[in-house]
Amino acid sequence: MSQLNLFEANEKILRLFPAPAKGNGRRIIISLFDHSLVWCKPYIDAGYTVIPFDIQDDGIDLAETMPGEIGDMIGDKINRPPYEVYGILNAMPCTEFACSGARHFAAKNKDGRTEKAIQLLKSSIDIINYFSFNPKTNTIADWDADEALEIYPDAGLKFWALENPVGRINSLIPEMKQFGPKYFQPFHFGSPYTKKTGLWGVHTFPEPTKIVEPTEGSKMHKLFPSPERANIRSKTDVNFSNAFYEVNK
């Protein structure tokens, strides 16, 4: 880790939502790049054990964090094995990928911002792969898979999802093409505004539950400049979050 050693990182994980290791509480949800907690809130409310990460809150730079370190943090903070990670939500920052900022792509390619964003996304995918079953090594999060499944039949990642607006992820990282995207709009789920967003991953894609007129238009693009503008624009739609949870429990 560039900013924190492992001990300091464990001390910095403050936004932890543990639950008893039974029922939904046995299932650990990791929410990456999650400052708002909107996407993971349905899981918190349903009694899952939820661990959000965001550099704004914990100082942990995921681009410099080895996947096994995340597993160690889980063990140190809640005394649970890493093979109990059930789902991963990934709200990767879109600043260097979104087509809304295409006029800046050339400058970002030149000054290294694009490369840094690619590394950050790849690091997040490494974390996802770490908690998934690896058929080549027969492991789940460095545990022998047979042993883990004998202890806990639900062992291993069951779903993951990456959220990002229309952009250049697939052109910059072609291996992501196999995972999406499929697109949704907030007005598909009862929120009357537009913000075309893609989902990549292995999960059940939520179909529209309540299509309404987008009377507020693209309200995120109309926000006045402020220190919190980026966080507000990147916030996951609450109705979509609830719909995603309903089909990915």
Amino acid at 160: W
Instruction: Report DSSP state, residue 138.
Output: T
CA distances from 13 to 16, 57, 69, 87, 182 (A): 7, 8, 13, 19, 32
Choose among 176, 140, 145: nearest CA to 157. 140
Find the helix or strand (DSSP H, E) in which 90 lies: strand 85-90
Sign of CA dihedral 105, 108, 112, 117: negative
Per the DSSP assignment, residues forming a β-bridge with 200 are 162
Q: Which CATH class is domain 6-247?
A: alpha beta
Check: CB of residue 65 under 8 Å from CB of residue 2.
no
Query: In the prediction, which pLDDT does 41 show?
Result: 94
Pairing, β 49-53 against β 182-184:
unpaired
Query: In the prediction, which pLDDT does 227 show?
Result: 53
Query: In the prediction, which pLDDT does 107 show?
Result: 85
Query: In the prediction, which pLDDT does 103 show?
Result: 84
Query: In the prediction, which pLDDT does 4 show?
Result: 40
Query: In the prediction, which pLDDT does 77 show?
Result: 86
Query: In the prediction, which pLDDT does 222 show?
Result: 54
Cβ burial 195-214 (10 Å sphere, 16+ → b, else e): bebbbbbbbebbeeeeeeeb
Query: In the prediction, which pLDDT does 223 show?
Result: 44
Rounded average pLDDT per 10-residue block, the chain, 249 residues: 43 74 94 94 96 89 91 90 97 84 83 90 96 97 97 96 92 94 96 94 96 84 49 75 97
- Whole-angstrom distance, CA of residue 169 vs CA of residue 33: 17
Please give the structure tokens belonging to residue 32: 């990456």
